[in-house]
Chains A and B, each alone.
Chain A
Amino acid sequence: MPTADRAAEVAAFFDGARLTMARHLAGLRKSDLAALIEKSPTAVGGWESGAKRPTAATVAQLALSLAVEPGFFAIRPDDIAALSTTPHFRSLRSTSQLARDQAYAYGQLAVDIAGSLERHVEFPEPNVPNFPVTVTSPDDDGPERAARLVREQWGMEDGPAGHLVRLLENHGLLVVFSPPQAATVDAYSFDSRLRPVVILNPIKRDYYRQRFDVAHELGHLVMHGDAEPGGRAVEDQAHRFAAELLMPAEQIRDHLPMSMGGNAWRSLARLKEQWGVSIQALLYRARWLGRLSDVSYRNAMTTISTRGWRRDEPGLITVIEQPSLLPRAVELLAQEGIEDTILIEQCRVPPDLFRVVTSRTPESGGLHALPTTQRAGSRVVSLLGQRPHIEVGHPGV
């Protein structure tokens, strides 16, 4: 169908929330979008809130400027954003509102795609223990008890946790990599109408540290359904949860070094491979459990820096854990003769984004990324691909 006809059709079923989502994915403020299509920010605000309805010509213009199909703006059976919790982002201060909005919109899109696929396939039922932990009593051992509860309810055996992403997926959580353009935002998580979602950082290519991230996000989902995201206390609790889940105190305490002399580094390297956690996490654990003194811990961390291990810790496993729910669904449907083009049409999302969301591995590169605004300190790259009307630098192409 020609775009103009499609736009006319969509104008009748226009959903302001979808425009907000597209704008967030593109990393634009209302005023940026208004400038792109030469309309006022008030008009954009009106369309997004539903107070005003855009004309067919405007819908076509919006679609072109944001690099989506007009169908993207069409109303859906339910508004996902309204039914999701606020995501937990780490370091709120360094992540701009624009970047956070973009990350959240991406997460919503992943839920949207999962919802679309779930009309054809069945995923495991969501089953996440709920163990609210208050942030007002930081000395309480709530995070540790929450982690033990998860181990118990999910029937995890003593010893190291296996494939962590698979563990979450088997209990109905959706795990997805974020696109490389959004790499400033660390892993994050939120609950949605369908199932809880964990979005992984695409440039963290370290098996051991990524597992810790997954456990950290699980901690938020188990403990912080209602907590205000982003606070230091909340983040610390998620870290303690992750540490207890991956390195249960009772099982690991006696194996942690009490000083950094002798064979300490060798035994840390062995523990690292055994438990699937970084040496830095093990050192921190040893400090937390009172095995290592402050001084020994600090010296050990200095050694880690000097050896270049903060960025590049030696380890045997070079493959990161990969999500399987969405990729498996796409493969399964392909076997049934349903190609991904049909799925993309049904989901009404840009094909590139569909592939990023349903991929087993993070997309590498991001060379085609385009900065959308040139304002210093706030440059966020559009996830929607190239738009024809803006003149900006084009790195790497």
Chain B
Amino acid sequence: MKEQREVISALRGVGVLAGVRWAYVSATTRTLEQYSEADGHDAAWLGNTRFTLFRDRLDRVFACERYAVHSGNDDADLDVLYDQLSSQDIFSMPQLDSGLVRRSNLNGSPGWVCGERRFLLASCDYGKLDSLPWPRRGPTKQWVAGQRNPEPQQPSLFDDEEIGGLEALLAAQRDLDLDTYVVSHTLDRLGGQIELVFGRPRLNTGGGQAWYWYENLLTDPPAGGGRRTDDTPLPTGPNTTPDAPVRLRRSAEERRDDRRSGGQ
């Protein structure tokens, strides 16, 4: 699969896939920590929280939306970037340059773009990735899954020039502004197991495979990360406010001496 090799190696090379993986592990760990049946949480809560946190973590690692920086200083206000993250999350967070990935939503569905490649998120039941029913998903996901296969394995039935041209025209209407892929994620709440793949979805109307190809993102070794530190020394600037009063404590003897000399 030429496309799979190209896309995966490009995104892996710049650290985007490591970022996605970090974001998902952080999000699911936190979701499971908070999940409490005793508190009335249910599958809907779990799915919603998992999605919200995943989106939030992706924005963090890629410095998008509320974690954007404007001055080119990627280490600005790290406390905002680290807020609510565990030490483990902070240590393992890949250090990516802001601007490597930008937010580009598709019809309101959160999307991220690196170069000319966009990815959206799609949750799925644990163990059911291969048969993910795209036709039962929203119109945006159907649209994404309906993109033309860039490398059809067999000659098309419509190789006839006239009909082939018609097919191309129809497909062109389905084309998106950018090649759009899907990050699909699952969570088995009882076992705490997760799956995370990056792939090109296939509109499986009438059943069948849900993907032309996908890559398991959890088989890569986790990124080393490395905590960001803002090493810029603080300017010492003019400090016009005097220190708080601190006095040497004098021994009783000194005080007696003082009184004696003061009395003169």
Interface residues of A (CB under 8 A from B): 91, 93-94, 96, 99, 118-124, 162-163, 166, 169-170, 180, 183-184, 186, 201, 203-206, 209, 305-312, 318-320, 322, 324-325, 328-329, 332-333, 336, 361-362, 364-367, 369, 371, 376-381, 395-396
Report how far A160 CA is from B8 CA in the complex, Å: 55
Question: Are B245 and A310 interface neighbours, CB within 8 A?
Answer: no
Which residues does chain A contribute within 8 Å of B68, judged by CB atoms? Answer: 305-308, 310-311
Q: Once the chains bind, are A378 and B86 in contact (CB under 8 Å)?
A: yes
Which A residues are in CB contact (< 8 Å) with B91? Answer: 371, 379, 395
| Minimum Cβ distance to chain B for residue A218 (Å) | 15
Closest Cβ neighbor of A27 among chain B residues: B87
Is there a chain A Cβ closer than 8 Å to B194's Cβ? no
Per-residue contact bits, chain B 227-258, to A (CB 8 Å; 1 contact, 0 not): 10111111111010111111111000000000
Known contacts A91-B84, A310-B67; A180/B73 CB under 8 A = no
Q: Given the complex, which residues of A lie within 8 Å of B248, measured CB to CB?
A: 120-122, 332-333, 336
A239 to B211, CA, bound (A): 50
CB pair B87–A184 under 8 Å, yes or no, is yes
Instruction: Choose from A124, A205, A206 the contact partner of B245 (Cβ within 8 Å).
Output: A124
Chain B stretch 64-107: residues in CB contact (< 8 A) with chain A: 65-71, 73, 76-88, 90-91
Inside 8 A of A122's CB, which chain B residues have their CB?
246-249
List B contacts of A204 (CB < 8 A): 77, 79
Query: Do A380 and B245 touch (CB < 8 A)?
Result: no
- Take A119-B249, A121-B247, A318-B237 as given contacts and tell me if A203 and B78 are in contact as well, using a CB distance cutoff of 8 Å: yes
* CB-CB nearest 5 A-B residue pairs: A308-B70, A169-B244, A308-B68, A324-B243, A312-B76
CB pair B79 A162 closer than 8 Å: no
- Given contacts A93-B34, A203-B79, are A365 and B70 in contact (CB under 8 A)? no
* Distance from B125 Cβ to chain A, minimum over Cβ atoms (Å): 24
What are 21 A-B interface contacts by the 8 Å CB criterion?
Answer: A96-B87, A118-B249, A119-B249, A120-B248, A122-B246, A162-B241, A183-B90, A201-B79, A204-B79, A206-B77, A308-B69, A310-B77, A312-B73, A318-B234, A319-B235, A364-B232, A365-B229, A366-B227, A367-B229, A369-B227, A378-B88
A188 to chain B, nearest CB (A): 13
B227 touches A121 (CB 8 A): no
> Within 8 Å of chain A (Cβ to Cβ): is B226?
yes
- Chain B interface, DSSP helix/strand/loop, else mixed: loop
Q: Which residues of B contact A (CB under 8 A)?
A: 29-30, 33-34, 65-71, 73, 76-88, 90-91, 224, 226-227, 229-237, 239, 241-249
How far does the alpha carbon of A327 sit from the alpha carbon of B230 in the complex, in Å? 23
B245 x A170 contact (CB < 8 A): yes
Please name all residues of chain A whose beta carbon is closer than 8 Å to the beta carbon of B226 when the two chains form the complex.
395-396
Judged by DSSP, the binding face of A is loop
Kindly state the separation between the CA atoms of A282 and B77 in the bound complex, as whole angstroms: 19
Number of A-B pairs whose CB atoms are under 8 Å?
Answer: 151
Q: Are B88 and A205 in contact (CB under 8 A)?
A: no
**Are A328 and B234 in contact (CB-based, < 8 A)?**
no
Closest residue of chain B to A119 (Cβ to Cβ) is B249
Pick from A93, A169, A380: contact of B87, CB under 8 Å: A380
Within the complex, what minimum Cβ distance (angstroms) separates B53 from chain A? 11
Q: Given A123-B244, A319-B237, are A99 and B87 neighbors across the interface (CB < 8 Å)?
A: yes
Measured between beta carbons, the chain B residues less than 8 angstroms from A324 are: 243-244, 246
| Contact partners of A205 in chain B: CB under 8 A | 77, 230, 234
Distance between Cα atoms of A318 and B71 in the complex (Å): 14
Complex: A123 Cα to B83 Cα, angstroms? 34
| Given A180-B229, A312-B71: A123 touches B246 (CB 8 Å cut-off) | yes
- Min Cβ gap B56→A in Å is 12
Q: Is the CB of A318 within 8 A of B73?
A: no
B101 CB, min distance to chain A CBs, angstroms: 14
Report B222 CB to chain A, min CB distance, Å. Answer: 10
Which of B65, B70, B231 has the most chain A CB within a 10 Å cutoff?
Answer: B70
Chain A residue with the shortest CB-CB distance to B68? A308
Given the complex of chains A and B, what is the CA–CA distance between A376 and B89 in angstroms? 9
User: Which residues of chain A come closer than 8 Å to B30, judged between CB atoms?
Assistant: 94
A27 to B86, CA, bound (A): 14
* A124 and B79 form a contact (CB under 8 A): no
Q: B34 near A184 (CB under 8 angstroms)?
A: no
- Do B80 and A310 touch across chains, with their CB atoms under 8 A apart? yes
